[in-house]
A and B are shown apart, each in its own frame.
Chain A
Amino acid sequence: MMNSHIGMKFGVILVSIGMLMSGFGCANKRVASTSGDQSMAAKQSIDTEQVQPDQMASADTSSQDVSRSQLAPSASESGSAAMSKDSAVLPDLAGLGDIYFDFDRYEIRKDAHSVLEGNAKWLRNEGGRSLMIEGHCDERGTLAYNLVLGEKRAKSAKRYLEDLGIPGSRIQTTSYGEVQPFCKEQNEGCWQKNRRAHFVVH
């Protein structure tokens, strides 16, 4: 009787150790890859400019907007490679909606027109407010490339708002490239949410 009681206790200890071992084994793994110096050169000009992405990787992320819109297109809307072009995008808490872009593009899509018109209307009503447009990209492409692409997306949005009568002096642009993804999965539905211009009111 005594022996079986001790045996049971020992079994519980062994089971606990086993659970601890398995718990440690899967909790802390982190693996990441990024790309650095990159160049593309024709035959006669091998010595091309080397991109230094480390500077861009350290882009300031401290000013992250706490009221960031959670209204990115849902995965079901964008499960296929081409996201539905007429997906509705609702305005965020400040009355401003994000707009989304096709892969590797910075042209304003048709489904973004109504969003930008809504944003312009909000800005007209809020005469004294200025705006920061953040350009974002999905993770495909290098840090350097995506930083430039994000900037182009932000500037496209700015130009569109200027065409709608918003003074350029009220609009600033910046790019976060791929470093502030809205969604971190590796699929088209998620990447689509990350290819965006986000509007932050000052």
Chain B
Amino acid sequence: MVRSLLWSVILLGLVGCAGKGERIDIAIPGQYTGASVTGRAPGTLRVAVLPFEDKRAHQANLGTRSHLWGGTSVFNLPSGNVTEASAQALVNYLNRQGWKASLARAAGQDGEDVTITGIIQDLSIEATSGVMHTDLSAKNTLMLQVRNHSDESVVRERVLGTGSDQVFWFEPEDAQALTTELFEKNFQKFLGDIRVDERAIRLR
């Protein structure tokens, strides 16, 4: 009985370390966990967010997991549409902070005050398994551009996020949490760097 249990644990360990070549789904937008409405909400300012442009050097997937005994799995979105998913992540974050934001197809369609576009310059997650641990590292670099329709002025900012984690037993949720947290930190930084001036967004 004890011996069979022991073998089960060892087998489970080996399965966890072996490369399976599977796709590990990463949901974007993820479920934000940080505090909401940290600053003053911008009142009635209406924000449209267009799908971002994907300018990543490697667009096939979000990254790879290298298994201890060889082989890799890939991280990717179930939909594969990273441009819309990233824009939706910003919309969700803004709304969580009390803004009035929505995903749009084109600028100026619904009489919004500002339109935000974005370029994904880097969005990746890598996991490397070793003996009794897996190291995760993630990057997220976004160039965000705000167009104020009241005076057609433009505000641009690049936000760069990096994250790392080490876990004993890798679960897809670890990669998911790191990715979501990076988006959240980047958007948090962006909101911290701008201010609302009547019907427009300016840099602080």
Residues of A within 8 A of B (CB): 3, 6-7, 10, 14, 17, 20-25, 27-43, 46, 104, 139-142, 145, 186
Beta-carbon contact of B189 and A33 below 8 Å: yes
The total of chain B residues at the interface (CB under 8 A) is 43
Chain B positions within 8 Å of A6 at CB level: 2
Q: Which residue of B lies closest to A39 (CB)?
A: B156
Binding site for A on B (CB under 8 A): 1-2, 5-6, 9, 38, 132-133, 141, 143, 151-169, 174, 178, 181-182, 185-186, 188-190, 192-193, 202-204
Which are the 5 A-B pairs with shortest beta-carbon distances? A24-B168, A33-B185, A31-B163, A36-B158, A28-B166
Q: Which residues of the partner chain A approach B181 to less than 8 Å between Cβ atoms?
A: 31
Q: A14-B9, A39-B154 are in contact. List 7 more A-B contacts (CB 8 A).
A: A29-B165, A32-B161, A35-B193, A37-B158, A140-B193, A140-B204, A145-B203
Q: Name the prevailing secondary structure of the A interface residues.
A: mixed
Query: In the bound complex, do residue A21 and residue B193 qualify as a contact, i.e. CB atoms below 8 Å apart?
Result: no
**Cβ contact within 8 Å between A40 and B202:** yes
Other-chain contact of A24, B6, B155, B166 (Cβ < 8 Å): B166
Residues of A within 8 A of B163 (CB): 29-32
Q: Which chain B residue shows the least CB distance to A186?
A: B38
Residues of B within 8 A of A33 (CB): 159-161, 182, 185-186, 188-189
Contact present for B169 and A43 (CB under 8 Å): no
Given A28-B165, A139-B192, A35-B159 contact (CB < 8 Å):
yes
Contacts of A139 in B (CB 8 A): 192
Asked if B168 and A20 make an inter-chain contact with CB atoms under 8 angstroms apart, the answer reads yes
Report yes or no: A37 in contact with B202, Cβ–Cβ below 8 A. Answer: no
Q: How far is the CB of B164 from chain A (nearest CB, A)?
A: 5
Most chain A beta-carbon neighbours within 10 Å: one of B178, B181, B203: B203
If A33-B189, A34-B189, A36-B158 touch, whether A10 touches B143 (CB-CB below 8 Å) is no
Known A-B contacts A6-B2, A40-B153, A40-B155; A35 and B189 likewise in contact (beta carbons under 8 Å)? yes
Chain A nearest CB, measured from B137 CB (Å): 10
| Contact indicator A21/B168 (Cβ below 8 Å) | yes
Known contacts A32-B185, A42-B151; is A140 also within 8 Å of B192 by CB?
A: yes
Query: Is the CB–CB distance between A34 and B168 below 8 Å?
Result: no
* A46 with B193: CB separation less than 8 A: no
| Residues in A neighbouring B154, C-beta threshold 8 A | 39-41, 43, 46
Chain A residues lying within 8 Å of B38, measured Cβ to Cβ, are 186
29 CB contacts below 8 A, A to B, read: A7-B2, A10-B6, A14-B9, A20-B168, A23-B168, A24-B132, A24-B167, A25-B167, A29-B178, A30-B163, A31-B178, A32-B162, A33-B182, A34-B160, A34-B189, A35-B160, A37-B158, A38-B158, A38-B193, A39-B156, A40-B156, A41-B153, A41-B155, A41-B156, A42-B153, A140-B192, A140-B204, A145-B203, A186-B38
Q: How far is the CA of A145 from the CA of B190 in the complex (A)?
A: 13
